[in-house]
Amino acid sequence: MTPDTDRTDANLALFERARRVIPGGVNSPVRAFRAVGGTPRFITRAEGAYIWDANGQRYIDYIGSWGPMILGHGHPAVLEAVQKAARDGFSFGAPTEREIELAEEILRHVPSMDMVRLVSSGTEAAMSAIRLARGATGRNKLVKFEGCYHGHADALLVKAGSGLATFGHPTSAGVPAVVAQDTLVLEYNNLSQLEAAFAAHGSEIACLMIEPIAGNMNFVRASVPFMQRCRELCTQHGALLVFDEVMTGFRVALGGAQSLYAQAIPDFAPDLTVLGKVIGGGMPLAAFGGRCAVMEQLAPLGPVYQAGTLSGNPVATACGLATLREISREGFYDALARQTRTLIEGLKSEADAAGVAFSADSEGGMFGFFLLPELPQNYTAVMKSDGARFNTLFHGLLERGVYVAPALYEAGFVSAAHSDEDLARTFEAARAAFRLLTK
> Annotated catalytic sites, by residue?
149, 244, 277
Question: Distance (Å, rounded) from C-alpha 332 to C-alpha 168?
Answer: 42
What residues contact residue 123 under an 8 Å CB cut-off, 6+ apart? 150, 151, 152, 153
CB of 248 to ligand PLP, least distance (A): 7
Comparing CB distances to ligand PLP, the nearer of 148 and 318 is 148
Question: Distance (Å, rounded) from C-alpha 126 to C-alpha 168?
Answer: 18
Comparing CB distances to ligand PLP, the nearer of 156 and 160 is 156
Contact 213, 363 (CB under 8 A): yes
CB of 251 to ligand PLP, least distance (A): 10
Look up residue 92 and give its amino acid: F
Closest CA to 82 of 62, 98, 95: 98
Comparing CB distances to ligand PLP, the nearer of 48 and 276 is 276
**Which residue is closest to ligand PLP by CB?**
122
What residues contact residue 97 under an 8 Å CB cut-off, 6+ apart? none
Comparing CB distances to ligand PLP, the nearer of 51 and 286 is 286
CB of 163 to ligand PLP, least distance (A): 27
CB of 240 to ligand PLP, least distance (A): 17
Question: Distance (Å, rounded) from C-alpha 205 to C-alpha 184?
Answer: 9
- Listed in sequence order, the DSSP H helices in 65-211 are 76-88, 97-109, 122-137, 177-180, 191-201
Comparing CB distances to ligand PLP, the nearer of 24 and 38 is 24
Would you call 386 helix, strand, or coil by DSSP?
Answer: coil
What residues contact residue 108 under an 8 Å CB cut-off, 6+ apart? none
CB of 217 to ligand PLP, least distance (A): 11
Closest CA to 245 of 149, 332, 135: 149
CA atoms within 13 A on the CB side of 171: 16
CB of 247 to ligand PLP, least distance (A): 4
Look up residue 178 and give its amino acid: V
Chain contacts with ligand PLP (rule: CB under 6 A): 121-123, 126, 149-151, 211, 215-216, 244, 246-247, 276, 286
Question: Distance (Å, rounded) from C-alpha 352 to C-alpha 355?
Answer: 5
Look up residue 285 and give its amino acid: L
Helix, strand, coil shares of the chain, percent, nearest 5, are 45, 20, 40
Comparing CB distances to ligand PLP, the nearer of 217 and 356 is 217
Comparing CB distances to ligand PLP, the nearer of 350 and 410 is 410
Question: Distance (Å, rounded) from C-alpha 286 to C-alpha 124?
Answer: 8
Backbone φ, ψ for residue 402 (5° rounding): -120, 120
Comparing CB distances to ligand PLP, the nearer of 65 and 349 is 65
CB of 149 to ligand PLP, least distance (A): 5
Look up residue 264 and give its amino acid: A
Q: Where are the beta strands (DSSP E) in 109-218?
A: 115-119, 141-145, 158-159, 169-170, 183-186, 205-210, 213-214
CB of 68 to ligand PLP, least distance (A): 9
Question: Distance (Å, rounded) from C-alpha 72 to C-alpha 416?
Answer: 6
